[in-house]
Amino acid sequence: MCVRALLLDGSAGEEMRPAVEASESALREMGHQVETVRLKDKRIGQCRGCFGCWVRTPGQCIIDDDANGIMRSFVSSHVIVLLTPVTFGGHSSQLKKALDRMLGSTLPYLERCGRETRHPRRYDMVQRMLFVGLLPHRDHEAQATYRELSERNALNFRASGWAMALVFSNERPEMASIAVREALLKAGIAP
Amino acid sequence: MRAVLLIGSPRGERSTSRALGAYMLEGLRSRGWEVGERYACRDVTTSEGLTDLLAEMERSDLSILSFPTYVDSPPAAVMRVMETMHGRIKRGGALLAMANCGFIGSGNNTSSLSICRLFARDIGWEWRGGLSLGGGNVLAGRALQDAGGVARNVRRALDQAVSALAEGKAVPQGAIDLLGRNIVPSLLYNITANRAWDRAARKNNVLDRIRDRPYMEEERR
């Protein structure tokens, strides 16, 4: 079976390039089909919070822009890799804009999921998620917040496995490759 | 003293974020504060809007950021405001963040509020605390004064918070805990919410399509 991997690059410039290239090459070496989307080059409007994707045009956003193409790839990929400069412990606004528009990949209903409440998935695709965050240097508070957010995102999107990789601008580029490869294994992403 | 409310919901005036924030602004106004309101989703669309917003936040003694949690963190427009402010803010200030979410558990706002706290840290502002409300759909954007008994604890918590903020203090833990209680029992909330989604879909004549998988169908073709 061909495993499809979608990489969403939420950087504003070239700062994520080592992490993006490390993710692409590690996944390709495993034989996976990789699609990388540079979000800054896409026309993506803000989620309007209208819930049209739930109760007006189920599964589809009413805004006609590039987010709909990303949704198509998002729901049909086995591996989702979210790459972002860690922004106050969270995702960049660029990546967040795309994630906010993925609401239609879930159903509106509320159901228990362990001790939490979550929305059921709209699609059956079993997905694994990798979160790759870039920090200028070690920052324990930001790292802890990013880890918590990644865990919650993985739960929200009902990922069957997930892991987080941190990359630091003040480290050698090959460290990005090591961090990404370790995280892929931890998330259960294999050839 | 001056306070500005930054509303982070794309639903704007009709949002629960605005209802919560407006209640706090009214409390501060009654204590002699000057108050103002801004909408993040409008301000981020132009550089003039962002510049005006930053100027208003800089000249305020307290900024109140009220927003819905989307996918476990503040909406993109709020993140954009934070990114823009970082590095451009020259004057000190104080931030209170108030997050609401559609899940009943207020714990679902934890990551959102941590992000706001780190934002305050990184721009050198005082952190006046994070307030978290679960089950925000119950309020449905209604003014808290008109929301009846279901909003009693919400009003009490925000009254306590306003008293502290008006004196330049952080919100007390008691107010955080009170607002963090389930607004209605969780099972009741989930059942009611699920029926409300069905009603909304039926009204739009799409109840039989509510589980559609449009992109999977395209793939099959």
A55-63: average pLDDT? 97
What is the pLDDT confidence band of residue A1, given thresholds at 50, 70 and 90?
low
pTM: 0.96
- The rounded distance, in Å, linking the Cα atoms of A48 and A125 is 26
Summarised one tens digit per residue, pLDDT across range B189-217 is 999 999 999 999 999 999 999 999 999 85
Strand A33-38 versus strand A4-9 pairing type: parallel
Cα gap A189→A184, rounded to integer Å:
5
Q: Which residues of A touch B104 (CB under 8 A)?
A: 110, 117
Inter-chain residue contact B111 with A110, CB threshold 8 Å: no
Amino acid (1-letter code) at residue A111: E
Place of tokens 């992109």: B215
Which residues neighbour B211 within 8 Å (Cβ) at sequence distance 6 or greater? A58, A107, A122
Name residue A147's amino acid. Answer: R
The answer to whether the CB of B143 falls within 8 A of the CB of B22 is yes
In angstroms, the separation between the Cα of residue A167 and the nearest Cα of chain B is 19
Classify residue A191: in a domain, yes or no: no
Query: Is the Cβ of A46 closer than 8 Å to some Cβ of chain B?
Result: yes
Same domain, B202 and B112: no
Mark whether B74 and B130 lie in a shared domain.
yes
Element (H, E) at B111: helix B110-123
Which phi-psi region, left, alpha or beta, contains residue A49 (left: φ > 0; alpha: ψ -120 to 50)? Answer: left
- A47: Cβ contacts below 8 Å, ≥ 6 apart: A61, A97, A100, A101, A103, B10, B70, B75, B76
Find residues 83-102 of chain A whose CB sits inside 8 Å of chain B: 87-93, 96-97, 99-100, 102
| Segments forming the whole domain that contains residue A88 | 4-186
Please name the helix (run of DSSP H) or strand (run of DSSP E) that holds residue B99, with its range, or none. Answer: strand B94-100
Whether A44 has a pLDDT exceeding 90, the answer reads yes
Per the rule left: phi > 0, alpha: psi between -120 and 50, beta: everything else, B132 is beta
- Percent of chain A residues past pLDDT 70, beyond the cut: 99
Which residues, other chains included, contact B61 with Cβ-Cβ below 8 Å and sequence gap of 6+? B1, B2, B3, B93, B94, B168
Q: Which residues of B fall within a CB distance of 8 Å from A96? A: 70-71, 73-76, 79
pLDDT digits (tens, 9 = 90+) for A105-146: 999 999 988 888 999 999 988 899 999 999 999 999 999 999
- State whether B156 and B193 are in the same domain: no
CB contact under 8 A, B75 and A96: yes
Concatenating the DSSP letter of every residue in A85-113 gives E-BTTB--HHHHHHHHTTGGGB-S--EEE
Q: How far is A8 from chain B (nearest CA, A)?
A: 15
Domain for residue A143, yes or no? yes
pLDDT category at A170 given cuts 50, 70, 90 is confident
CATH code of the domain covering residue A8: 3.40.50.360
Contact A88 B118 (CB under 8 A): yes
**Same domain for B205 and B122?**
no
The Cα A121–Cα A159 span in angstroms is: 10
> How many structural domains does chain B have?
2
Beta-carbon separation of A145 and B116 below 8 A: no
Domain that holds residue B160: 2-183
Q: How far apart are CA B185 and CA A42, in angstroms?
A: 42
Residues of chain B with pLDDT under 50: 218-221
ipTM score of complex: 0.96
Q: How many domains does chain A have?
A: 1
